[in-house]
Structure 1
Amino acid sequence: MMYNEKMLESFSKEYAERCQVTDKITAEMFDANGVLRGLRDKNGNGVVAGLTSISKIEAFRMENGQKIPCDGNLWYRGYNVIDLVKGFEGKRCGFEEVAYLLLFGELPSGEQLHNFCEVLATARHLPTNFTRDVIMKAPSADLMNSLTRSVLTLASYDDDIRDTSLQNVLMQCMKLISEMPMLAVYGYHAYNHYVCDESLYIHRPQPDLSTAENILLMLRPDKKYTELEAQVLDAALVLHMEHGGGNNSTFTTRVVTSAGSDTYSVIAAALSSLKGPKHGGANIKVVEMMADLRKEVSDWEDEEEVKEYLGKLLDKQAFDRKGLIYGMGHAVYSLSDPRARVFKHFVEALAIEKGRHKDFALYSMIERLAPEVIADKRKIYKGVSANVDFYSGFVYSMLDIPLELYTPIFAMARIVGWSAHRIEELVNADKIIRPAYKSIMVERDYVPMDER
């Protein structure tokens, strides 16, 4: 029988409606059975599923037995991320330094950092003809899918794919950390050429450049970038590198690792999680929302007009009508996101260099007004503030990074955190992660075919 798409579509439509009824479990049923939806309680606190020494997030402080919201803090291996960024700001790119810290638990000496950078540079190499035979084949606007496909295909070039010894896994992780920017940027060039009918150029990364510098070099036709551009992108990578074991893609990493799967499958699973718009795609929504604001608001400097637009967003009368101000609020942080606090300084410097003062002023105004509008229209249990995604999309637009690469850039950074958590899981866990689901099924007697 020949493939019939209309028949498949019609059948799927009918049975999707059945699934909507058959599989529906109400919020009241979750409450009645004491089950926390999303593994989070009504205050947004996650169910504790494990222990980690890789990073720590703080959004509340305990005072007299009560949780008090506070400015957010994020630590990598015991070091406050704001201190880490300030430590290398204006002196050197920090991605490699912080990657060393997350993977090995200590800040590197000058010699250790030099050796680590040399190892990453050596690993920044794809198999012969991989770009032509894999990346250039079946290009897609969905670069996260292309990236996942490339990672899984790399597994076929590894003779030791099933070896889960720490030495081999560490080697695989460092190779993937080095290769991820190439897979993503080359994937974009393939899409831009074969789908968008634009010119094709493939630049090889340079061993003496940092990860951030190589991303800009490989992306741009003329290979040129300013020192500030590289520093801002580097800071963005560092701030997106790790965020606790409970975020969706990192938890996915630990779940698949606990099953004994190989490194390529683990990273592919994490990528599949990250691509979701509720996780890694948020900065794209911020950029799209701001584009809509510019069309709907006649005077960007008029606070009342901007505030009115924000109210329309919450009332589902503007943009995508989802009732959200994208880039505002976070599942964990309350009063502030530390990544946004430290990143704003870089954003302002780049906006000045790019002549985007008015855009930066608009973002700053929304950062100030949005919490007021949300507090007025919503019942909230904790503070609302700008998160790192609020500014990262703006930065990527100033760096002329195409929208299709926004989430892959997140992946280029977060793969370091995934690798650290994979290694920690291998060192410590001896059980497959298997949470329980409480069944509310009703048992029934079997009905013979001729009686149905």
Structure 2
Amino acid sequence: MDNMDLEKFEQDLSKKLRNSIDPELYNKYQVKRGLRDADGRGVLVGLTEIGEVHSYIIDENEVIPIPGTLMYRGINIQYIVNGFLKDDRFGFEEVCYLLLFGELPNKKELNQFTELVSKYRNLPEDFVRDMILKMPSKNIMNSMARSVLALYSIDDNADNTSIDNVLKQCIRLIACFPLIGVYGYHAFSHYHKNKSLIIHSPEPHLSTAENILHMLRNDCKYTKLEAMLLDLALVLHAEHGGGNNSSFVTHVVTSAGSDTYSVIAAALGSLKGPRHGGANLKVVEMFNDMKENLKDWSDDEEVENYLAKLLNKEAFDKSGLIYGIGHAVYSISDPRAVIFKKYVKKLAKEKGLEDEYNLYAKVEKLASKLMKNLSKVNKDVSANVDFYSGFVYRMLDIPIEMYTPIFAISRIVGWSAHRIEEIVNNGKIVRPAFKCVSRRRNYISLENR
């Protein structure tokens, strides 16, 4: 066969795919699609002490929505944020310690842990040149996953799954993630966008948030408010219970006995998906389309008409969704969005983007009511953390290609904690059941087909 015949054969193969399953069979066999019950609650598949998402109470077998709360190791995230902001300090390193070790650090422990992370915040010699710059990826998440897997080759104890070794590997990865993310972006920017290549080394005295801005920007400059808000974003994204897709992947792959690098690479693949970590990109794109089509951002009626078109699949990507509104778990409120909103307004004022912030606030206010009326949504819906995070990143001049990598730089803390928890509790390999519903057929010899 020549190349043209092979190409035609390859195209024809896709037409032979027969993967469609009758939707009624899922009801017949009581399959919990997406591991969700019919009322939207998650199917209980594990126990954790790391993070808790609480959004409803059960009263006489009835699910009653309540304002959402998020707990890190049993401590309300609002109290954690209030604590470090009251002290006028960064909070991400404190949250790392809390999630990994289960307790808040005292001053000495926090300083020592911060120094340890700073010590590990480097990559092997020639790694940036040979692994990142020589193989630039069009997607930074793929670049990060490749870099993580490459670090396996350099680790003399890569397959050692003892707690001491896994903890060391995790802390090293937490420290290095800002570098492999930012440097992956610079490689993309230079080789795929023809921009100047400028690589800054991290500064040992800077926090994780400060170092991200320092390494990302050509002039290394940033304001304190910018760094504080990015730090807040890292804190709010660090953990979200064991049931979110990427943390569940972490438990699944860890339960198979795999190495740390393979586990984290798998989690990155999960987070890359637009239904998970890539959601804030859709919010930004939706608002860009909205701003182009609205004549008066302050006109409630005009904004509401545009939102109605979104729900009726007549605007933007015609998906019928208002991105950033609604959540699989939260209904009345997402605590991360509530916290974020307080400080987003401050940065918008500093950046001269108050009109745009007001548009976001207006959409948040109008969308919930409209979705219940037009989409017949049977529960309260509210803005989720992705609604504001993309706007924050844009105000911070973070390129859109880095939105999901920033999420990963934060969430690796939760992944690390869940990996260690899975190992400590020595659970069984995660292997849920699938029922085969294909009809029985006889084998037909090759000459009779």
Tell me, yes or no, whether TM beats 0.5. yes
For residues 407-432 of structure 1, give each alpha carbon's deviation from its aligned partner in whole angstroms, at most 9, with x where no partner exists: 00000000000000000000003311
1:139-154 counterparts in 2 under 5 A?
139-154=136-151
In structure 2, distance between residues paired with 1:383 and 1:14 = 46
2:30 corresponds to: 34
Match of 2:134 among 137, 151, 156: 137
Tell me, what secondary structure is at the counterpart of 1:96? helix
In structure 1, distance between residues paired with 2:213 and 2:306 = 35
Tell me, what secondary structure is at the counterpart of 2:104? coil
1:252-271 counterparts in 2 under 5 A?
252-271=249-268
Match of 2:76 among 76, 80, 83: 80
Matched-pair contact (CA < 8 Å) for 1:71–1:335 = yes
1:189 corresponds to: 186
Match of 1:179 among 163, 167, 176: 176
Matched-pair contact (CA < 8 Å) for 2:174–2:409 = yes
Q: Which residue identity is paired with 2:48? A: T
For residues 258-309 of structure 1, give each alpha carbon's deviation from its aligned partner in whole angstroms, at most 9, with x where no partner exists: 0000000000000000000000000000000000001111111111111011
In structure 1, distance between residues paired with 2:8 and 2:193 = 32
User: Greater shift after overlay, 9-18 or 303-312?
Assistant: 9-18
Matched-pair contact (CA < 8 Å) for 1:143–1:187 = yes
Match of 2:319 among 318, 322, 335: 322
Matched-pair contact (CA < 8 Å) for 2:249–2:267 = yes
2:337 corresponds to: 340
In structure 2, distance between residues paired with 1:326 and 1:15 = 35
Superposed displacement of residue 373, structure 1: 1.2
Q: Which residue identity is paired with 1:37? A: R
Superposed displacement of residue 376, structure 1: 1.1
Is 1:159 aligned to residue 156 of structure 2?
Answer: yes
1:97 corresponds to: 94
Superposed displacement of residue 230, structure 1: 0.5
1:295 corresponds to: 292
1:381 corresponds to: 378
The two structures, once aligned, show a CA RMSD in angstroms of 1.2
Q: Which residue identity is paired with 2:114? A: C
Superposed displacement of residue 7, structure 1: 5.0
Superposed displacement of residue 170, structure 1: 0.3
In structure 2, distance between residues paired with 1:280 and 1:324 = 17
In structure 1, distance between residues paired with 2:13 and 2:280 = 34
Tell me, what secondary structure is at the counterpart of 2:52? strand
1:355-366 counterparts in 2 under 5 A?
355-366=352-363
Superposed displacement of residue 9, structure 1: 4.9
For residues 101-159 of structure 1, give each alpha carbon's deviation from its aligned partner in whole angstroms, at most 9, with x where no partner exists: 00000000000000000100000010001000110012122111111111111111101
In structure 1, distance between residues paired with 2:373 and 2:297 = 22
1:57 corresponds to: 53
Q: Which residue identity is paired with 2:16? A: R
1:404 corresponds to: 401
Change (3 A) 1:319 1:7: farther
1:306-317 counterparts in 2 under 5 A?
306-317=303-314
Matched-pair contact (CA < 8 Å) for 1:43–1:381 = no
Q: Which residue identity is paired with 1:44? A: G
In structure 2, distance between residues paired with 1:276 and 1:106 = 32
1:71 corresponds to: 67
2:429 corresponds to: 432
Q: Which residue identity is paired with 1:196? A: K
Percent identity between the two aligned chains:
57
Change (3 A) 1:427 1:7: farther
The runs of 5 or more residues in structure 1 that have no matched partner are none
Matched-pair contact (CA < 8 Å) for 2:372–2:378 = no
Q: Which residue identity is paired with 1:132? A: R
In structure 2, distance between residues paired with 1:351 and 1:63 = 41
In structure 2, distance between residues paired with 1:29 and 1:338 = 37
Q: Which residue identity is paired with 1:32? A: K
Match of 2:220 among 220, 223, 226: 223
1:278 corresponds to: 275
Q: Which residue identity is paired with 1:429? A: N
1:44 corresponds to: 40
In structure 2, distance between residues paired with 1:303 and 1:14 = 51
Using the size of structure 1 for normalisation, the TM-score is: 0.97
Superposed displacement of residue 8, structure 1: 5.5
Q: Which residue identity is paired with 2:13? A: Y
Tell me, what secondary structure is at the counterpart of 1:73? strand
Q: Which residue identity is paired with 1:327? A: G
Q: Which residue identity is paired with 1:57? A: V
In structure 2, distance between residues paired with 1:252 and 1:166 = 19
Tell me, what secondary structure is at the counterpart of 1:326? coil
In structure 1, distance between residues paired with 2:382 and 2:94 = 29
1:17 corresponds to: 15
In structure 2, distance between residues paired with 1:256 and 1:7 = 40
2:208 corresponds to: 211
The runs of 5 or more residues in structure 2 that have no matched partner are none
Is 1:304 aligned to residue 293 of structure 2?
Answer: no
Change (3 A) 1:223 1:39: same
Q: Which residue identity is paired with 1:68? A: I
In structure 2, distance between residues paired with 1:292 and 1:14 = 37
In structure 2, distance between residues paired with 1:320 and 1:14 = 29
In structure 2, distance between residues paired with 1:10 and 1:248 = 37
